[in-house]
């Protein structure tokens, strides 16, 4: 975020002055200009796509543990903690419980019993 701010405003202000004010080193900014995403970030993006694909193939049921196993079976080198972190960032969650939750789900209305007594009360005034 800081580097992007420096890149946007480097025609207005000096790069070294902005780096000093934002507490970053100028060499870090110039390295970011050459390659904005690190190798780890690129690998995270690639493995996140694989996690989403495996999650979709499971019917959006598997959690990160089974997705980690699936990726290891595919030959990916990924740790369980990294699979958890990437799944959390991608909003991938395991489906917990397979039964319907209690509540109303529509259906036919209840049958009301007929009035078998057939009473009609008239209140007479005095």
pLDDT digits (tens, 9 = 90+) for 63-111: 999 999 999 999 999 999 999 999 999 999 998 876 666 666 667 777 7
Mean pLDDT (whole number) for 39-53:
94
82 closest CA partner among 64, 95, 94, 98: 64
Q: How far is CA 114 from CA 98, 111, 117, 118, in A?
A: 39, 9, 9, 9
pLDDT digits (tens, 9 = 90+) for 110-126: 777 777 777 777 777 66
Q: How far is CA 36 from CA 2, 7, 40, 125, in A?
A: 12, 11, 12, 92
76 closest CA partner among 107, 117, 46: 46
What local confidence, expressed as pLDDT, does residue 76 receive? Answer: 92
pTM equals: 0.58
What local confidence, expressed as pLDDT, does residue 11 receive? Answer: 93
Q: What is the mean pLDDT of the chain?
A: 87
What local confidence, expressed as pLDDT, does residue 122 receive? Answer: 75
Would the pLDDT of 52 be above 80? yes
Structure tokens at 110: 């209840």
Ranges of H-type helices in the chain? 2-9, 15-22, 26-34, 39-57, 64-73, 80-89
């Amino acid at each position: 975020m800081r580097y992007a701010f420096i890149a946007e405003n480097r025609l207005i202000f000096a790069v070294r002055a902005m780096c000093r004010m934002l507490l970053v080193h100028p060499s870090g900014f110039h390295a970011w200009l050459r390659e904005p995403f690190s190798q780890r970030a690129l690998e995270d993006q690639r493995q996140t796509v694989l996690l989403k694909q495996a999650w979709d193939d499971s019917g959006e049921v598997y959690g990160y543990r089974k997705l980690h196993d699936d990726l290891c079976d595919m030959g990916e080198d990924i740790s369980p903690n990294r699979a958890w972190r990437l799944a959390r960032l991608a909003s991938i969650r395991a489906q917990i419980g397979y039964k319907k939750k209690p509540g109303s789900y529509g259906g036919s209305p209840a049958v009301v019993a007929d009035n078998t007594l057939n009473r009609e009360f008239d209140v007479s005034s005095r």
